Structure 1
Amino acid sequence: MIEKRKTDSWGAAFRVYRHPRVMGMLFLGFAAGLPLLLVGGTFTAWLRDLGISLAAIGFLSWVGMAHSLKILWAPVVDRIPLPFLTRLMGRRRSWMFFGQLLLCLSLAGMAFTDPRTHLALVALWAVAAGFASATQDIAIDAYRIEAAAKELQGAMAASYVLGYRVALLAAGAGALHLAASFNWSVAYGGMAVLMGVGILTTLMIEEPDVFVDEETLRLEKEVAAFRNGEGRSRLHTFRLWFVGAIIGPFADFWQRFRMTGFLILLFIGLFRISDIFMGVMANPFYLDLGFTKTQIGNVAAAFGLAMTLTGAAVGGVLVVRFGIMRMLIATTVLAPLTNLTFSWLALLGPELYGLVVAIMADNISAGMAVAVFIAYLSSLTNTAYTATQYALFSSIMTLPGQFLAGFTGILVEQTSWFLFFISSALIGLPAVLLAILVARYANPDTLQQPGHQKTV
């Protein structure tokens, strides 16, 4: 059953954006969003500007798969302390800080490496930036979920998306304008400097407190005792840590959701597949159609940001007003429909009004979807295993789309831009059916929950 409306007051719904923790997510969202395009859309524009083939660009998009594979090291971020930093800054903030420093170094490495002579080295720097970005995201996602109560998660997500999208404007329109006015080295060097926003924010915020239930607390005490070496071998210590850090998060999920967990994970994997599938080829499409880098920066990035922010803000409010599941179904339907506007643009040609219409439809829909989906994923986590569980969900969310996106260049070269965007819409249809099934059979509000979410 879909949940009832959460509040009858629009004023109360909008006031959630004044909460200090909600406002703080704005800057962490900026830090999380800045590197995404620099190893994604902006990176592919750079490569296409150099004349790299569409097939090669498609395969190089796998550089960004670190975000899809972050579940592999999320347990480390969740449980392993960093020397000196964790004691000084806390569990979440220390890993944020580490990822941000590595990002600065990696982006600077890309800026000072000439891709015309050292393309492989640029790709390696991009891989390092992707790893650092994914590590930062693991810690930020865990912080966001642990820092506020469930009823604030929609607004936390919307604030996060606001900062995230402002960063995308900087890494998209900003980088493209810098590249057009100067060169790509100046563009990437400027982005490395902007990562200072994330570093300063991490230094200013406070580490969140987390409450755990009795059963989780008992397990954690047992594991902690063995980790402290109370008469156990190192092998035994590692085995028990592995159970607590690796097995525990997955066992907790299956215990709470049981067989409906398969339905939830399948839905998560397909929810954004159409957007991710087409996203890799967006900038090459605009360039091939005849738009300039300045036009792409102004419309696809700057105007697109305004539309995405509109969608994200509306999505956050509608989650508070109508609940997560209703909005989840609505945004699942919108995603493939708005992809069809790009097929129309492919037939229309390089008309600026066509680009405006396509970007407006797609980005409003995407902004709503991201805000709603982040709130949904947050509702599935147990704060005892926040980083690992959320990394699992977000990895599943992006991995199918990013893997298939590696073949999009071949698809375009073998067919056409028109048919490519038709296929990107069709691939999103199964998610619509799954959204309805999840709302009916796997609604997290009607299933067993951990019941220990921090309230601030």
Structure 2
Amino acid sequence: MLALGFASGLPLALTTGTLQAWATVSNVSLQSIGFLTLVGTAYTLKFLWAPLVDRYAPPLLGRRRGWVFLCQILLAISISAMGFFSPSTELAWLALLAVIVAFLSATQDIAFDAYSTDVLHDSERAAGAALKVMGYRVAMIVSGGLALVLAGTWLDWRYTYVLMGVLMLLCTLATMLAPEPEVVAKAPRTLALAVIEPLSEFFSRRGAVMILLLIVLYKLGDAFAGALSTTFLLRGVGFSPEEVGTVNKIFGLIATIVGALAGGSLMARMGLYRSLMVFGILQAVSNLGYWILAVTPQHIWSMGLVVALENICGGLGTAAFVALLMALCKQEFSATQFALLSALSAVGRTYLAGPFTPPLVESMGWPSFFVITVFIGMPGLLLLWWKRHEIRALDRDELAPDANESQDEPQTAASS
């Protein structure tokens, strides 16, 4: 889970934060930087081709690992190719390559999420989700913080992206060594069934639409706060790329490890619903750290504290969120159902936070914007409280797949 989580997280920063930093120092306009977030559209649409991953299998390494391996090879090539284009003169070509990387990364995520859902026992779900998120966030620090340091001091942007491509190629070793699930679910007999059955099974559950809305809203405030966080630190506060990269690499890495280990331990004790609520509150309130940076004098230690707090709280929230998505999936359809759920979680980041953050910042300024992001996170927490009976039932593994509890008629464990 740790190694494959790293492979899953490596491409994201290279098409978001790191690409954003590269465009910022290349004097690309704020509006163009904001719309660069649309290259991640593949993450919100991946459910459209997830049935192909469920139905067909590459000739090597099985139905799940085979797709992961193939995507990792193509990602290594595409990420390396990004380094040979400049944002200032070839932004369109660079954005096109970023779209390809995002598509391949989303496909890798489809297969990896299905694999983790299949291979982890119920008792391993909390720890597995925490280590998966830990690997993911460590990769984002490597392709985010470390990449900025390398591009600014040791290598230029071209060779930094080539190096990231090589790291992705090395991740194929983990894929080849990963074990197959003890129980291998049969693939759908036809592509039509691969499309219809996962959706009909999920939407036959009572309250399914509200659960989908919860998934969209849960991390929305976090998405708005992080949409232009790199541009804020560089242009809004005035730190150098090397300072931002170093702080992310050191404080971010330490905080990620602490957050992941704490998340797995606390989830096992607190249960899924309480973890989602407590961690959700923490990830919303942690956005105020950016407000403090915006209204206080520039200091690298204050940035380090804010980065550490964001990584701990964001990691806790993400670990609980991933555990929720795994609990909602049925093994036979894990690729398509997980893709649908995780795609919905990216809607806020791609279609709302990316395009709407620049005009919000320009109209109200950085300090007011970060205060607003705390309130953007509140509707998701209110909906989580409203659906608490369904979440608690999932946590007890007593929720029938075709008869979820409604918020109006909470059932007892026995009647469930």
User: Which residue of structure 2 lines up, in the alignment, with residue 51 of structure 1?
Assistant: 27
Quick check: 2:22–2:87 contact (8 Å CA) kept in 1? no
Amino acid at match of 1:204: L
Structure 1 position 166, deviation (Å): 2.0
- Taking the aligned partners of 1:442 and 1:318, their CA distance within structure 2 comes to 17
Counterparts of residues 54-73 of structure 1 (less than 5 Å): 54-73=30-49
CA contact (8 A) 2:201 2:401 kept: no
Q: Which amino acid aligns with 1:448?
A: A
Q: In the alignment, which of 61, 75, 80 is matched to residue 89 of structure 1?
A: 61
Cα displacement (A) at 1:335:
1.9
Aligned residue number for residue 144 of structure 2:
172
C-alpha distance after superposition, 1:186-212 (max 9, x if no partner): 111110110023211112223324356
User: 2: CA distance between counterparts of 1:137 and 1:60?
Assistant: 21
Offset at 1:441?
4.2
1:390-414 per-residue CA deviation (whole Å, 9 max, x = no partner) reads 0111011111232112221122122
Secondary structure of 2:60's counterpart equals helix
The answer on 1:200 being equivalent to 2:189 is no
Superposed counterparts of 1:206-355, under 5 Å = 206-210=179-183, 224=189, 241-242=191-192, 244-255=193-204, 257-258=205-206, 260-288=207-235, 289-355=237-303
Alpha-carbon distance in structure 1 between the residues aligned to 2:399 and 2:177: 37
CA-to-partner distance for each residue in 1:67-118, whole Å, 9 max, x for gaps? 121111111111123xxxx233211111101211111111111012233332
CA distance in 1, matches of 2:88, 2:291: 33
Quote how far apart the aligned CAs of 1:165 are. 2.1
Q: Which residue of 2 aligns with 1:79?
A: 55
Matched, 1:379 2:327: yes
Match of 2:9 in 1: 33
Amino acid at match of 1:27: A
Letter in 2 for 1:44: Q
Q: CA deviation at 1:440?
A: 2.6
Asked whether the equivalents of residues 138 and 256 of structure 2 are also in contact (C-alpha less than 8 Å), the reply is no
Q: Which runs of 5+ in 1 are unaligned?
A: 1-24, 228-240, 451-456
**Which secondary structure does the structure 2 equivalent of 1:52 belong to?**
coil
Measure, in 1, the Cα distance between the counterparts of 2:137 and 2:85: 27
- The offset of 1:58, in angstroms, is 0.6
Counterpart residue identity of residue 261, structure 1: A
Q: Which amino acid aligns with 1:134?
A: A
Q: Is the CA contact 1:313–1:368 (under 8 Å) kept in the aligned structure 2?
A: no
Could you say which residue in structure 1 is the equivalent of 2:351? 403
What's the TM-score, normalizing by structure 2? 0.91
Aligned partners of 1:442, 1:149: CA distance in 2, in Å? 18
CA contact (8 A) 1:70 1:391 kept: yes
Q: Are 2:340 and 1:392 equivalent residues in the alignment?
A: yes
- Report whether the alignment pairs 1:104 with 2:80: no
In structure 2, what is the equivalent of residue 140 of structure 1?
A: 112
- Tell me if structure 1 keeps the 8 A contact 2:16–2:36: no
Following the alignment from structure 1 to structure 2, what is the Cα–Cα distance between the partners of residues 134 and 202?
16
Q: CA deviation at 1:135?
A: 0.6
* Counterpart contact for 1:55–1:408, Cα < 8 Å: no
Query: Which amino acid counterpart does residue 286 of structure 1 have in structure 2?
Result: L
Residue 434 in 1 paired to residue 380 in 2? no
Mapped contact 2:126–2:264 kept (Cα < 8 A): yes
Aligned-pair identity in percent equals 40
Q: Map residues 437-456 of structure 1 onto 2, 5 A cutoff.
A: 437-443=386-392, 444=394, 445=396, 446-449=398-401
In 2, the alpha carbon distance for the partners of 1:335 and 1:170 equals 22
- Structure 2 gaps, min length 5: 403-416
The DSSP-based 3-state class of the residue aligned with 1:87 is coil
* Residue 414 (structure 2) aligns with: none
**How big is the shift at 1:332?**
1.5
Aligned mates of 2:261, 2:377 — CA distance in 1: 24
User: Which residue is equivalent to 1:118?
Assistant: 90
> SS at the partner of 1:192?
helix
Q: Which letter maps to 2:374?
A: A
Amino acid in structure 2 at the alignment position of 1:351: H
CA contact (8 A) 2:146 2:246 kept: no
Q: SS at the partner of 2:179?
A: coil
Matched with 2:316 is: 368
Q: Quick check: 1:263–1:442 contact (8 Å CA) kept in 2?
A: no
Per-residue deviation at 1:46? 0.6
Q: 1 CA distance for matches of 2:60 and 2:22? A: 39
- Deviates further, 390-399 or 352-361: 352-361
Assess, with a 3 A threshold, how the Cα gap between structure 1 residues 131 and 402 changes in structure 2: closer, same or farther. same
The separation in 1 between residues aligned to 2:364 and 2:34, in whole angstroms, is 15
CA RMSD of aligned residues (A): 1.7
User: Given that residues 227 and 349 in structure 2 are in contact (C-alpha distance below 8 angstroms), is that contact kept between their aligned partners in structure 1?
Assistant: no
Instruction: Name the aligned partner's letter for residue 100 of structure 2.
Output: A
Q: Tell me how far apart the structure 2 counterparts of residues 335 and 174 of structure 1 sit (CA, whole Å).
A: 24
* Count, aligned residues: 396
